[in-house]
Structure 1
Amino acid sequence: MALNAHALVAITDARGVIIEVNDNFCNISQYSREELTGQTHRIINSGYHPKAFFKDLWQTIARNEVWSGDICNRAKDGSLYWVQSTMVPLVGKNGKPERYIAIRADITSKKDAEATTRHIALHDALTGLPNRRLMTKRLKSAISIKEQQPGYGALLLMDLDYFKEVNDMLGHDVGDELLQQTALRLSRSVRDTDTVARFGGDEFVIILDNLGVNIDIATSNAKSIGEGVRMAVTDPYHLGHHQLEVTPSVGVVLFNNENEDSQELLKQADIALYAAKEAGRNQLLFFEPALQIETIKRTLLAQDLRQAIDKKELVLFYQPIVNAQHQIQGVEALLRWLHPQHGLVTPDTFILLAEEQGLIVPIGEWVLETACKQLAIWQQDPKHKALTMAVNISVRQLNQTNFVDMVKQTLARTGACSKQLMLEITESIFQDNVSSAIAKMNALREEGIRFSLDDFGTGYSSLTFLKRLPIDNLKIDKSFVDDILDDSRSLAIALALISLAKDLKIQVIAEGIETPEQMKWLQRNGCDFFQGYLFSKALHPSDLHKVLENTALP
């Protein structure tokens, strides 16, 4: 009676044929007593356990030993249930089992809870995809199996271009929905045998196997699947009231050896992903050893850059800005890095590196401090006190909450005149909080500081923002000046920029001037100030002092 109240009971003969069951067994299996009697336990076999599992069970009880374990069974309606089973042999006078008594307890809810816990531990909560832990486990398995199954597999590392901007502009809810839809697209773009996992943030990992034993075929197959993934992600997204077009960058690395290291493969895929970003984004690139060498160089250079200020390796050069009479009106401060081993490192290399490493803010503050010190020195000389100093300001600097106070404190500390300071910004501020940027600019203009808009027309220019921005100067980019005499479109753009600036009461500076013909055209069409190699390259402070003694340039 106690067993019937709390347990599932079944008795079989020596052959395993059921001869008696209790009501609990019938209820959980959904079979009647008549349907079960005369059958073996195959009637409730779920197929979950391998044959070896039951072989061990029968060998144990055939030795007159008690067997205990958890078994997954299948009910009549096809649903699965778990039981904790104890099977006891009833031994006859001949010493052999005559009956087997199975006492079971329903542990389905416990197993479900365990399965849920395992799923949570191994899957990403937002997308439902395997997480980094499960992905690493599957990658190691895909690598190790190469000993028995030769051939190539591939690891793809993908992230979404400009995902941070989506989060910042539209909010994290939209960003999360974008990640969920991306996960769904990725899962639909690969084969059933492939693994799609969320690596973290907006990064996803795809593990491909069985790509072929020939490297050319494997490369082609990996590229085909990867391009399919890339194209799937680039289709427009409909997120609430927003329609977005998002592009991915993908890094790919092949593997075919059981001795390869999973973490090293991830590093190589990351290197290829970075190269895809460098190539302009929305690209799929394969890892090559040369990329790793370049990455190591960049890593070492980044380490050196962190110490460059303290080691006094950074220096400001100054390029003169002249009027129509070639008289120097001011200079633009241009940062240079004099590396002890590599010599002069070009700004287009280390400025981007500074952005990536989060160093652009302290470096930018050093540039402003140094430029203001020079400006203060000039103000002590009657011949040079009217010179202006243009200093480039990055978007990240402008976005700092203390930016206005930092500039004011720098001016006070150095003694530089605010009216002679020109801060140069680029149209990339349009991608961020424009209202906040404008408020900061207005606060500094009240202190006498002026602003110049650099590189206007080279990106996603907005005339609406141009109307709102409190700027004093507009610079025509070198890319237009270069072709101004040969390309009708460059000419038209330059004319339009000059006309627009004049209508807005903004002065125009043309940069990158290299020939007298360019100078004459720009002067004839209304440019106010000029800058370029025609007059002078960027000069070391000691060379600039010599030039300033003669305030006019050839």
Structure 2
Amino acid sequence: MWSRRHVTCNLVTARHIMKLQNKIWLGCAVVVAVVMSIDLTVGYRDLQKSVHDHASEDARIVQGLLMATRRVYHQQFLDSGVALDSHTLGFLPAHALGKISQDFPNWLNTGLRFNNVSDRPRNPANQADAIELQDIAWFRANPTATDRSQDILDAQDKSFFHFAAPIWIEPYCLKCHGERNAAPAAIREAYDQAYGYKVGDLRGVLSIRVPTDELRASATQTWLEGVALRSMGYGVLLLMIGLLMQRLVTRRLAVLEAATQRLQQGDLQVRVDERGHDELTALAQGFNRVMQSLCVHELQVRESTLLLRESEAKYRSVLASSQDGFWLANAQGRLLEVNDAYVAMTGYSRDELLQMQVADLKVDESQAQMLAYLQAVMAGKVGLLETLHRRKDGNLIPVEISATFNGVEGGVFSAFVRDVSKRQETESRIRQLNFFDGLTGLPNRSLFTERATMALAQAHKNVASAALVCLDLDHFGHINDSLGHQAGDQVLVRLTERFASLLNRDDIVARPGGDEFLFLLAGVDALQAQAAVDKLIQGVATPLRMEGQAIAMTVSVGVAMYPQDGADVDALLRAADTANHLAKKAGLNTVRFFTAEMRQAVTQQLALDADLREALARVEFVLYYQAQVSDTGELLGAEVLVRWQHPRRGLVSPAEFIPAAEANGLIVPLGQWVLETACRQLRQWAQVPALAGLTLAVNVSAKQFQRPDFVALVQAVLTLTGANPQRLKLELTESLLVANVEDTIDKMRALKAMGVRFSLDDFGTGYSSLAYLKRLPLDQLKIDQGFVRDILIDPDDAAIAQTIVVLAHAMGLAVIAEGVETPAQRDRLLALGCHYFQGYLFSKPVPLAHFEALAQSTTHKD
């Protein structure tokens, strides 16, 4: 069997080689034929050109001879002094050349013709024919041309090379062709025309015609003789090229062909000879490289097959242990394979499932959805489908299906199916947390805003009014502190139940957080809103029994009316919050409706916020400096205080814009500007010996200090400005420190490591705990001016000041008092042990120039 196949392959190979040989011979013949045709064509063209060149050369020789004869003969005639009359007229060159041209054929009968011709001849024999008239016209149009030539046929169809050269009027020509009255008498008597020429005019042309028939016939004969010789030479060349190709190409290709046949039979070890340096050698090398690659590939295929089998086994193992269901189905949706998880998920046995369609597990309304999903997957639109499965016991379970389609062998769907019951429950809980208060179950601010927006839209449609109520429980923190947070939570739940019983069906209640409640009272005017709020206040005031105690509470309430106080929920919330804030300031159990005065205050606040933003952009702020001195009067440095130089209002008090900046968050960029400006000033003072030892105290707001990158910002400012960190003192407030003790300590230690100093501002006004106060890397405590102001008349203030001094000394800290305005205050503080002061007694806050003048006139220490 193998031998017969081998013989058949050899026969096929022989036929292929024979065809290749025929193609090579045919290709060589075509190439030789093309080259021969080009050679003969070029040779014929060159011979024809030589005919033209020969005729042109003959014509130019005749032209040169005739023109030289004409000029010399004419000059000799003029110089001889021979009288010009009817007997000597024939000696003129024009006459003589005409007679020479007529007599020339008697001496050399080659068919060569020449003559002087003109469009205004005096001798009819010199009249230009049609071709010569064209030449005359052409030379007049091209006066710089020296000759013109062309091939023509005469009336007997004989071919000539026609050559024409212009004859221009020269000065000596004017004697006969100038003005008639100036011409010789013999000329005037003999001729009536050809007068009036000027130097440079065209008189006519020298016409020379060389016959070319015999030249062309001779050239053609020469070409035909060359054709025979070239044909023999090209035949020999074809034979040599064919034999060479036979040896160099066909035989080596036969080897490659045989190797290819062995490859087709499965022999991957076959190789061919690579000797040589030509393209066939490169082909042989390429063949051997391919064979080597095939061997490697076969080995890789074997390894891949083994790995694939192992992977398939692992795949089946993974599917068997997967928590997600898995199935295979054909293109018609018939289940072909399922894993154990899918069996458990559906409640059907494996055999039952393999008799079912994919859509059989869907409830009626989701079957069409499933079929549409499979069609989309088949079209390449891969995605997820959430649908319902009906278990064998009839229960419905939500599932998520992720399917793919493989179009090989009729097409197969593969899908993972996940039971998402728990996930949906989690999402429901998350939604509950996102939109509802976890304690009371009331809507939070987000959901309240959404529902209130719809309620206001309905009110607008019905041209009705509404009220938005902001209710805060007064001193609710006391309940948490005394009874515990669990009791406080129960109070909020019980109040929520009371509110529900006091509201109408269309009213909306929400708990944004803490002890605050929001209400949207639909379809009420101001009087009705007041009545509804009174009911809410009464509901809160009714005592609650908690752990055997009766708890009675009061509330602060702010009310904003729609549409006069705001056209949308956000505007009403701002208005109600403003009214609520004023209610708290007015006292307990107070209600405030939003008024025009409040609106004006809000408007002013918004305007102030806008001005502050512009002021930051335009850098309208300046720093003032209040001196800090020792008990000996030495100037230690200053506290920098920011002032706002308003372009219209002048210098604005910090008491007006600092709270606004704290409220709108602009205190952060403002504080950053103050810090950078102060550090730049420290850098400038470092260059002045009298000012180099001064320190600057910079106040840091809570919002500024609580930024995660505060330490990095301070370090960047110090690096940018080049300020000495040991000359920088940051003043922190007690309220800032208690917000996040550990974070505060970490930041202070990081800055302390750089050399920055710290002062605790307004010490004694807050709720500092000694437990953590001793952990803070402070350098100084600052006695608040509230204790200094009445230190001479209020024993309590004096006692507090003394306590602060004793505490500072015990902790190894310096202490400075601010607000010192009289020598008596200074002396009392000095007696208590305070040795550093700040206040009007020493200097008011002054601009930079005033402070520098003060510093240079006052002693200070490093």
Structure 1 residues 223 and 433, CA gap change in structure 2 (3 angstroms): same
- Could you say what secondary structure the match of 2:442 adopts? coil
Distance in 2 of aligned mates of 1:543 and 1:258: 52
- 2:519 aligned partner: 206
Counterpart mapping for 1:24-423 below 5 A: 124=436, 126=438, 127-130=440-443, 131-132=447-448, 133-138=450-455, 154-158=467-471, 182=492, 184-189=494-499, 191-194=501-504, 195-198=507-510, 200=512, 204-207=517-520, 219=530, 222=533, 225-226=536-537, 229=540, 250-253=557-560, 261=567, 263=569, 265-276=572-583, 284-423=591-730
Distance in 1 of aligned mates of 2:564 and 2:597: 23
- 2:740 aligned partner: 433
Structure 1 residues 498 and 344, CA gap change in structure 2 (3 angstroms): same
Residue identity opposite 2:510 in structure 1 = R
Distance in 2 of aligned mates of 1:465 and 1:162: 27
How many percent identity over aligned positions? Answer: 41
- 1:241 aligned partner: none
Structure 1 residues 495 and 454, CA gap change in structure 2 (3 angstroms): same
Residue identity opposite 1:530 in structure 2 = F
Which structure has more helix as a fraction of its residues?
2
- Could you say what secondary structure the match of 2:502 adopts? coil
Displacement of 1:200: 4.7
- 2:832 aligned partner: 525
Task: Note the alpha carbon deviations across 1:94-125, whole angstroms, 9 max, x for none.
Answer: xxxxxxxxxxxxxxxxxxxxxx9xx9899736
Residue identity opposite 1:135 in structure 2 = A
On the 8 A contact 2:560/2:572 being kept in 1, the answer is yes
Return the match for 1:453 from 740, 754, 760. 760
- 1:109 aligned partner: none
On the 8 A contact 1:319/1:538 being kept in 2, the answer is yes
Distance in 1 of aligned mates of 2:838 and 2:542: 44
Distance in 2 of aligned mates of 1:283 and 1:549: 57
Displacement of 1:175: 11
Distance in 2 of aligned mates of 1:277 and 1:405: 40
Displacement of 1:552: 5.8
Structure 1 residues 220 and 521, CA gap change in structure 2 (3 angstroms): farther
On the 8 A contact 2:737/2:744 being kept in 1, the answer is no
- Could you say what secondary structure the match of 1:321 adopts? strand
- Could you say what secondary structure the match of 1:468 adopts? coil
Residue identity opposite 1:542 in structure 2 = A
Displacement of 1:182: 3.4
On the 8 A contact 2:459/2:523 being kept in 1, the answer is no
On the 8 A contact 1:453/1:475 being kept in 2, the answer is yes
- 1:505 aligned partner: 812
On the 8 A contact 2:437/2:512 being kept in 1, the answer is no
Task: Note the alpha carbon deviations across 1:190-225, whole angstroms, 9 max, x for none.
Answer: 7533435227566632245899x995x974773573
- 2:422 aligned partner: none
Displacement of 1:410: 1.1
Displacement of 1:541: 1.1
What do you get for the CA RMSD once the two structures are aligned? 4.1
Distance in 2 of aligned mates of 1:278 and 1:124: 30
Structure 1 residues 143 and 251, CA gap change in structure 2 (3 angstroms): farther
- Could you say what secondary structure the match of 1:509 adopts? strand
Structure 1 residues 259 and 389, CA gap change in structure 2 (3 angstroms): closer
- Could you say what secondary structure the match of 2:681 adopts? helix
- 1:463 aligned partner: 770
On the 8 A contact 2:762/2:782 being kept in 1, the answer is yes
On the 8 A contact 1:308/1:314 being kept in 2, the answer is yes
Residue identity opposite 2:655 in structure 1 = D
Displacement of 1:162: 12
Structure 1 residues 260 and 422, CA gap change in structure 2 (3 angstroms): closer
- Could you say what secondary structure the match of 2:745 adopts? helix
TM-score scaled by structure 2? 0.42
Displacement of 1:369: 0.5
Residue identity opposite 1:182 in structure 2 = L
Displacement of 1:177: 12
Displacement of 1:549: 2.4
On the 8 A contact 2:779/2:814 being kept in 1, the answer is yes
On the 8 A contact 2:623/2:674 being kept in 1, the answer is yes
Task: Note the alpha carbon deviations across 1:108-144, whole angstroms, 9 max, x for none.
Answer: xxxxxxxx9xx98997364433532333445666798
- Structure of higher CA gyration radius: 2
Task: Note the alpha carbon deviations across 1:159-193, whole angstroms, 9 max, x for none.
Answer: 68999xxxxxxxxxx99998896365244257533
- 1:14 aligned partner: none
Structure 1 residues 509 and 221, CA gap change in structure 2 (3 angstroms): same
On the 8 A contact 2:559/2:580 being kept in 1, the answer is yes
Displacement of 1:295: 0.7
Displacement of 1:522: 0.6
Residue identity opposite 1:128 in structure 2 = G
Structure 1 residues 528 and 247, CA gap change in structure 2 (3 angstroms): farther
Task: Note the alpha carbon deviations across 1:444-493, whole angstroms, 9 max, x for none.
Answer: 11221110000111122212222111111100001101111111111111
Task: Note the alpha carbon deviations across 1:482-518, whole angstroms, 9 max, x for none.
Answer: 1111111111111111111111111110001111111
2:851 matches 1:540:
no
On the 8 A contact 1:190/1:225 being kept in 2, the answer is no
- Could you say what secondary structure the match of 1:128 adopts? coil
Structure 1 residues 459 and 249, CA gap change in structure 2 (3 angstroms): farther
Structure 1 residues 293 and 378, CA gap change in structure 2 (3 angstroms): same
Residue identity opposite 1:198 in structure 2 = A
Structure 1: 5+ residue stretches without partners: 1-115, 164-173, 238-245
Displacement of 1:380: 1.1
Displacement of 1:389: 0.6
On the 8 A contact 1:156/1:226 being kept in 2, the answer is no
- Could you say what secondary structure the match of 2:560 adopts? strand
Structure 1 residues 339 and 190, CA gap change in structure 2 (3 angstroms): farther
Task: Note the alpha carbon deviations across 1:56-99, whole angstroms, 9 max, x for none.
Answer: xxxxxxxxxxxxxxxxxxxxxxxxxxxxxxxxxxxxxxxxxxxx
Q: Which moved more, 1:345-354 or 1:197-206?
A: 197-206
On the 8 A contact 1:144/1:258 being kept in 2, the answer is no
TM-score scaled by structure 1? 0.64
Aligned length: 410
Distance in 2 of aligned mates of 1:218 and 1:160: 19
Distance in 2 of aligned mates of 1:463 and 1:502: 14
On the 8 A contact 2:502/2:536 being kept in 1, the answer is no
- Could you say what secondary structure the match of 2:796 adopts? helix
On the 8 A contact 1:154/1:222 being kept in 2, the answer is no
Residue identity opposite 1:225 in structure 2 = L
Distance in 2 of aligned mates of 1:162 and 1:545: 50
- Could you say what secondary structure the match of 1:389 adopts? strand
- Could you say what secondary structure the match of 1:423 adopts? strand
Displacement of 1:360: 2.0
Which structure has more strand as a fraction of its residues?
1
Structure 1 residues 280 and 360, CA gap change in structure 2 (3 angstroms): farther
